[in-house]
Structure 1
Amino acid sequence: MTAVLPGAGQAPAPGRAGSLLRAVLRQVGTAVLVLAVVVLLWTVLLRVFDVSPYVGKTPAEVWTTLFGEDDSAELRAEIGALLGQTLLDAGVGFVAGLLSAVVLAAVVVRYRLLEGAVMPVALVLQTVPLIALAPILILAVGRGYVLVATMSAIVVLFPALVNIVLGLRSVTPQMRDLVLVYGGSPSTVLRRVGFPSALPALFASVRIAVPGALTGALLAEWLATGKGIGYAVVSAAGRSQNARVWALVVVVTVTALVLYLLAQLVEAAVLSRFGRAEAAR
């Protein structure tokens, strides 16, 4: 038995492309507005709190550091290499955390007796500070990609797990009964109906996981691996290279914003495939 997803096998609804375009433009406009507000607050707060120019760098000074000095090209190349390492670390954690959340959510929904065992452990991992767990994790798995994946996955796991479980449980009793009447099993309900119904929750988890994976990667780099932007920020701060610190922080922040925007655009494109109602969520 196969279940028909909303909108599958149907001709594109009139105006669907226009609706998708409006959603994309709205999200891009929102991202630009957020960036403008951050720059404005950054500038105003430096003045309001009278931060020393030696410590606090303005957006113009960061721009000059990255693009207006003799060694800016060399600095950009170095930051690009560091960013590549951090993105690799974050990608490992993102995949590990999100896949773990999907698998655990499916297990929790399919076998409710296991919920009491899975959810408290996930909650404990979420509440214990990573900086406290780091020494134990280093002793257990070393300082390689397993550690990066573990630390990033811990940041990503709990919020993604909660969202996906709620999405999988959004299947209506009528739809569940229909699948069972036609010979489907509870696993069929989960696979054919539950996961398609959970798409909005899954994409919400992806949006949460993007900055979470970056945070986990930066912490792992700072505390354990000695690579990437996480370690470079701490190293530059220790040498009082404040302009470099601000440049690194700005680059990783803008990167997180761009990745979040990309996740939103993919979400809008995929959900619009199944109808405007889901895409509008």
Structure 2
Amino acid sequence: MTAKLVDTANPPAPATGRLALSADPAAQARLTADRRRALGRSLRRSLGNAAITFAIVLLLWQAIVSFTGISPYVAKGPVDVWNHLFAGADAASHRAQMAPLVAQTLLDSSIGFVFGMITAMILAVLFSLSKAVEAGVMPLVLLLRTIPLVSIAPVIILITGRGTLASVAVIGTIVVLFPALASILFGLSRASRQSIDVVHVFGGGRFTALRKVSIPGAGPSLFAAARVSVPGAVTGALLAEWLSTGQGIGGSILKFNAQAQFAQLWTSIALITLITLLLYNIVQVVENAVLVRMGMSTAQR
């Protein structure tokens, strides 16, 4: 009976295929060339999508400034921001002013992204191994998702301390957690039942099936979670800077508005939008490269 199941599942096939490829240099060269072409197509598609998105944002921005009747003293368009940063007489000092703010926001975003993704992956694995853990913890995750973060931020800051890295990490984690967790859980739930049955036939338990089948197969969902989490991490960083630390772009936007420094205000918004788009597309490029390497990319379609 066991021999029949093993024969039906045919687990030695991948190893046989790898041996055949290693023994055939021409086939290996063709596979490498196909992967490079797929990666090139993915990269061109990502760059094209980024260019289209950037162009749409610029057009909408200019349309809002031009056709809504807002005073030019308050509203600054793309050309104004460009002149403020690069073409104006004081452009160098303006760049020096914005550089540390951008660096701080990037640091805070990376903290929220890392902690949020790690928490989401740990919870997704625990939920997959135990329905009792999922039933006990998921309502808390949903509660954190539904309650406005601004309303619970004073409690978070009271516990972690105002202006601390812990407050930045907690606020960023809350913003990133739910969408990342939902995406990773979806990927883990789509594992091949036949492959899991093969693991069980050979004596593997639920953790072995998760490690050998579910987690490797959830690669696309993991990268999708990372892509979704990038804008969330930036948003969480801005909230943490606004509510807790007072640093970075999030802490400076209110100051620029209160001091009527509208050029700096619009420049801050433009920079954070550009950074979010760049980070999103960097994650997408890395995703395409890894999935093409793993043979799981849809770029060849």
- Tell whether the 8 Å contact from 2:39 to 2:292 is kept in structure 1 after alignment: yes
For 2:180, the equivalent position in structure 1 comes to: 160
- Tell whether the 8 Å contact from 2:192 to 2:213 is kept in structure 1 after alignment: no
| One-letter identity of the residue aligned with 1:121 | L
C-alpha distance in 2, partners of 1:160/1:271? 18
For 2:136, the equivalent position in structure 1 comes to: 117
| One-letter identity of the residue aligned with 1:199 | G
C-alpha distance in 1, partners of 2:131/2:300? 31
C-alpha deviation, 1:55, in angstroms:
1.2
Q: Which runs of 5+ in 2 are unaligned?
A: 1-10, 22-27
The percentage of aligned residue pairs carrying the same residue is 43
| One-letter identity of the residue aligned with 1:231 | G
For 2:24, the equivalent position in structure 1 comes to: none
- Structure 2 counterpart SS, 1:184: coil
- Residues 1:135 and 2:154 are matched in the alignment: yes
- Residues 1:87 and 2:111 are matched in the alignment: no
For 1:185, the equivalent position in structure 2 comes to: 205
For 1:68, the equivalent position in structure 2 comes to: 87
- Structure 1 counterpart SS, 2:168: helix
C-alpha distance in 1, partners of 2:238/2:300? 33
Deviations 1:184-234 (A, max 9, x none): 111011111111111110000000111101100111101110111101111
C-alpha deviation, 1:70, in angstroms:
2.2
- TM (normalized to structure 1)? 0.94
- Tell whether the 8 Å contact from 2:256 to 2:264 is kept in structure 1 after alignment: yes
- Choose from 164, 167, 190 the match for 1:147: 167
- Structure 1 counterpart SS, 2:229: helix
Which range moves more in the overlay, 46-55 or 128-137? 46-55
Deviations 1:138-192 (A, max 9, x none): 1111120110000010000001101101111111221111011112111011111
Distance 1:201 1:181, change over 3 A: same
For 1:31, the equivalent position in structure 2 comes to: 50
For 1:16, the equivalent position in structure 2 comes to: 35
C-alpha deviation, 1:276, in angstroms:
5.3
- Choose from 102, 117, 120 the match for 1:101: 120
C-alpha distance in 2, partners of 1:210/1:279? 22
Distance 1:34 1:223, change over 3 A: same
For 2:294, the equivalent position in structure 1 comes to: 274
- Choose from 72, 95, 100 the match for 1:53: 72
- Tell whether the 8 Å contact from 2:38 to 2:300 is kept in structure 1 after alignment: no
| One-letter identity of the residue aligned with 1:251 | L
C-alpha distance in 2, partners of 1:146/1:192? 34
| One-letter identity of the residue aligned with 1:41 | L
- Residues 1:212 and 2:194 are matched in the alignment: no
Deviations 1:29-85 (A, max 9, x none): 110111011111111122221111111111111111111222211111221111111
For 1:169, the equivalent position in structure 2 comes to: 189
List 4+ stretches of structure 1 deviating above 4 A. 2-5, 7-10, 276-281
For 1:264, the equivalent position in structure 2 comes to: 284
For 2:241, the equivalent position in structure 1 comes to: 221
| One-letter identity of the residue aligned with 1:197 | G
- Choose from 252, 259, 274 the match for 1:232: 252
C-alpha distance in 1, partners of 2:92/2:296? 45
- TM (normalized to structure 2)? 0.88
- Structure 1 counterpart SS, 2:294: coil
